[in-house]
Structure 1
Amino acid sequence: MKTLRLTCNSIDKNINTTNVFLGGSVSSYDSERVLEFDNELGTGTITGIHLEGGLSFMQYNVLFNEAFKIVTDPSPSKPIYFMYCLEGTIQQSFGGSTSLTMLDEFQTAILGGAGDANEIVFPGQQQVKLCVIRVIDDTAIQDTETLRQQMYSLFSKGQEEPLNYFGTYNLRIGEQLAQIGKINQKGIVKKLLVEGILNLTLAMEIQHLQSDIEDEQNPTGSLTKYELNSIKTISRDIEKHPEVQYSIKSICVDCGISASKLQEGFKLLHGTTVSDFIRNERLNTAERLISTTDMNISEIVYTVGLSSRSYFSKIFKRRYKVSPKMYQDNKKAEPQVA
């Protein structure tokens, strides 16, 4: 297994060091650095973004031919890492420990904070999409606790040991992080949008892990990985085709799982019931159609799979605080950007 060692806080330097090791090419876009490689070691893209306040973001979208280890030891900054696998799995340990813990797909983790080297092992022959939010002390802050110090105090319980929390599965955090790849803006606008997404993700991660610690849940409850993947698949199907007349029975038949497992999975991954998830996706699609097409409200109602315009108006107004027609009129009245 090949091992790459990184020993500084600088995103630029770490990307350059990684590039020398992997033999790829690096592109720069303002505060963003993108490394691409495709050779005997594997193929993929590694993106690094430096932000204000001690925050940085790394995303590894990689497929290594053999297991590959990255050891990060930026002492004495004692960074805290929030990690999430959008796809695939990795293994993690501290300071050369032989005990490795797996971070599964859709799973959250908060690690570090005490200066120990962070070791990540990417498996061979597996596509992995790993997101890492790193928090270090902001050197501009002198008289108040930094974000890193506050986070460490929150989770360390007074122990001078690295944080090592592997939380439950949470698809909502994954959906939030996936938004970064959909940003088309450049420059300061992109930087602000990324910073906003990462700050919101941090808040969601902290809240999620606090809930896990308080509830002392098992990472998957009673669900298997197969069941979680099945629920993710049907979730994507609902997002793409909210107009389909779904029923709990038909979904269970398609997924091959029981109704109780289905509801448990939606609560775990989305924080809501199956019915509420379908209704929310229909509302999301309806709002997009109102904003981007010339369809009338009745057409939109039937397009998203509803049969009652009055019911649609009720749930639409509950979310957007205005009727669908008024929302449409307001959109039409907005000045068009050339």
Structure 2
Amino acid sequence: MRELIINSSKSEDMFSKIQTCMQGELIKDCGESVLTFINTVGKGSLRTIDFNWGISLIDCDMKLAEEAKIVFDTKDLAPIEFIFISKGYFKYSENNTDEYTRLEQFQNTIISHKRNAEKTFMFPKDEHLKINFIRVNRQEYLQKKNNNVSQLNQLLVSLFNDSDGEATYQHGGSFSLKIADEIKLLNDVDTTCGMLRSLSLEGRLYLILSLQLLEHKNFEENMNLPEAISKDDILKIHKLTTYILEHISDTVTITSLSAESGLSPKKLQIGFKILYSKTVNEYVRQLKLEISKDYLKNTDLSVSEIVYAIGIKSRSYFSKIFFEAYGILPTDYRKHLKNKNASIR
């Protein structure tokens, strides 16, 4: 087992230590630090970005060849960490005990440990891990104008105002594919280095943070109905989203999705409502519309051909729901894009 002790909560110091341990290459560019490695330790990458008001992002995409233990032993006031695992799992403990909490895929987790207490992350070997950490330095964030921390529930208000680090907190909340989708979009931001990229990343990060705070609120108020859907159900619904995409030209119904997943229609509706805040039909329709926009923008297919490609039988119905969603007809949307491109040239 590979073990690493980190004595600072600053991203730059942490990454310097991790680089030494992982024997990787660290590249800094446009405010981002990216560590990549492929060796006997394993293969993968880690990225960190610091934003204003004490907000920072660390994400990793890796597969380790041996178990790794990272112990954070620092006198600093611990950040509040919002953790989301898109793939795999890892374990967490406080005070470096042998009692670990397993943090699960798609589960919204919030942790903060006491000042002077050791925090340990245990990462498994031979497991593909995709993990997103949003870290909030509470003292810096409270200096932000209109931070509105007082509008959070009492648990988080007291945590943000715990300037002495006297409290420990751990929230293992509900499972959310909506957060998983937003994190995927965060990782897919492909704007080249510069202001557009930094703004896109920061905007996505704040959206994810707001969804994690909303999940916490709903969980504490018993609004997520976690007993109504299991982890296995979550994974089945996650697979269904790929199935829907691959069969977008077909007529996808609750009945066909039920047969594909083995979940009852009622369970599907509950799951999509909890995870995506949409019914099954609303989710499928939105996906078809998003794909149609991509076709209108990037292909020469006629509107009738696009309607067929996304599995909608009526062109008039397609125009109607497209207008309801985007406030413009499909033909006008394409004209607008062409005029815009012509003006750029």
TM-score by length of structure 2 reads: 0.88
How far apart in 2 are the matches of 1:180 and 1:206?
17
Change (3 A) 1:213 1:152: closer
Residue 181 of structure 2 is matched in structure 1 by: 175
Is residue 226 from structure 1 mapped to residue 232 from structure 2 by the alignment? yes
Change (3 A) 1:287 1:322: same
**Other structure's SS at 2:252 match:** coil
Is residue 125 from structure 1 mapped to residue 126 from structure 2 by the alignment? yes
Residue of 273, 278, 287 corresponding to 1:272: 278
Query: Which runs of structure 2 are paired with 1:291-306 in the superposition (5 Å)?
Result: 291-306=297-312
Deviation string 1:173-220 (CA, Å, 9 cap, x unpaired) is 11111122222221332222111110111111101110011017565x
Following superposition, the deviation at residue 141 of structure 1 comes to 7.0
**Other structure's SS at 1:48 match:** strand
Following superposition, the deviation at residue 137 of structure 1 comes to 4.1
Residue 331 of structure 1 is matched in structure 2 by: 337
How far apart in 1 are the matches of 2:141 and 2:212?
25
Change (3 A) 1:110 1:142: closer
Residue of 202, 211, 218 corresponding to 1:211: 218
How far apart in 2 are the matches of 1:98 and 1:71?
13
Larger mean Cα displacement after TM superposition, 100-109 or 324-333: 324-333
Q: 8 Å contact 2:224–2:274 — kept in the other structure?
A: no
Residue 77 of structure 2 is matched in structure 1 by: 77
Larger mean Cα displacement after TM superposition, 37-46 or 19-28: 37-46
Q: 8 Å contact 1:94–1:119 — kept in the other structure?
A: yes
CA RMSD of superposed structures (Å): 2.6
Q: 8 Å contact 1:60–1:130 — kept in the other structure?
A: yes
Change (3 A) 1:319 1:226: same
Is residue 155 from structure 1 mapped to residue 161 from structure 2 by the alignment? no
**Other structure's SS at 1:166 match:** strand
Deviation string 1:145-194 (CA, Å, 9 cap, x unpaired) is 96889879652657842221111111111111112222222133222211
TM-score by length of structure 1 reads: 0.90
Q: 8 Å contact 1:92–1:119 — kept in the other structure?
A: yes
Q: How many residues align?
A: 337
Following superposition, the deviation at residue 280 of structure 1 comes to 0.7
Is residue 245 from structure 1 mapped to residue 246 from structure 2 by the alignment? no
Deviation string 1:247-303 (CA, Å, 9 cap, x unpaired) is 222222221222222222222222211111111111111111122222222222122
Is residue 320 from structure 1 mapped to residue 326 from structure 2 by the alignment? yes
Residue 308 of structure 1 is matched in structure 2 by: 314
Change (3 A) 1:212 1:75: same
How far apart in 2 are the matches of 1:143 and 1:212?
26
What are the ranges of 5 or more consecutive residues in structure 2 without an aligned counterpart?
A: none
How far apart in 1 are the matches of 2:335 and 2:286?
22
